[in-house]
Amino acid sequence: MAKIIGGITTSHVPAIGRAIAKNLQTDPYWKPFFDGFTPIHAWLETNKPDVVVVFYNDHGLNFFLDKMPTFSVGAAPEYNNADEGWGIPTVPTFTGEQDLSWHIINQLVDEEFDLTTCQEMSVDHAFTLPMALLWPSQVWPVKVVPVCINTVQFPIPSAKRCYALGEAVGRAINSWHSNAKVAVLGTGGLSHQLDGERAGFINKEFDLQFMESLIHDPKWATQFNSAQLVEKAGTQGVELLMWLATRGALGAKAKCTHQSYHIPISNTASGIMLMEPVA
């Protein structure tokens, strides 16, 4: 059977793409953020995953406000991105792991999750930038399975439902007839709000408590409804739902191998975590 070897969570703000394009990794503003990935690069080099399942949210490249599924899973042979209007260079094509995609889709439907299945799918900066942070050469040594969660248009799925989705994806991966090593990647957040009266809002205390909870009390954030999460983390901070799904996929127990927290990057609190499942 396949084996989940770890979960990684990180921010995906478009400004990261511009920083990469302009080679600003050692700039004083950006260096603390990019330095947080050095231990993750070492972990990836040592553990060499074969597949990455990516929990992320689409911002209009693949789904727009007129058609916004709650959960969608890619089952395409390959995935491309395009100019989103941010001035971010596009990245090379990602190869899909279709066998795992269909295995996840079938198992999630069996567990009564209602999905949109995408046999063609574009992936935006929420997918491409974290992958470029993990593999700066942008030569992808892994195949991918995109799992998109709506955090853009309300109503959004609850924290409890997203954690359950992650658990179900984890069960599907662990029952996949393959000897592949699988990493799970959750992108977005942490606390930030880009619009309205609270534009620029960051809640460091909540962010750090949330990160700590993923190891010692992983269902802690599921006590909050969507409105409460917006209050605590900001309108866009609800992207922490992808972190919850990632943690759910790792199973009952996990250890933190590396983490960092830095504010701000583009008015966003940036957290990074590398977690490994514990038997």
User: Residue 81's pLDDT band (boundaries 50, 70, 90)?
Assistant: very high
* CATH code assigned at 211: 3.40.830.10
> Across the chain, what does the average pLDDT equal?
95
Residue whose C-alpha is closest to residue 79's, from 114, 47, 122:
122
- Per-residue pLDDT, averaged over 270-274, amounts to 96
**What residues form DSSP beta bridges with 255?**
276
pTM of the predicted protein model = 0.96
Q: Which domain holds residue 11?
A: 3-277
User: Residue 226's pLDDT band (boundaries 50, 70, 90)?
Assistant: very high
The residue assigned the tokens 């409890």 is 160
User: Residue 179's pLDDT band (boundaries 50, 70, 90)?
Assistant: very high
Q: How many domains does the chain have?
A: 1
Confidence check: pLDDT of 9 > 90: yes
Which of the residues are catalytic?
125, 192
pLDDT computed for residue 52 by the predictor:
98
Question: In the chain, what percentage of residues exceed pLDDT 70?
Answer: 100
Who contacts 144 (Cβ-Cβ below 8 Å, separation ≥6)?
A: 51, 52, 53, 54, 74, 79, 94, 95, 96, 97, 131
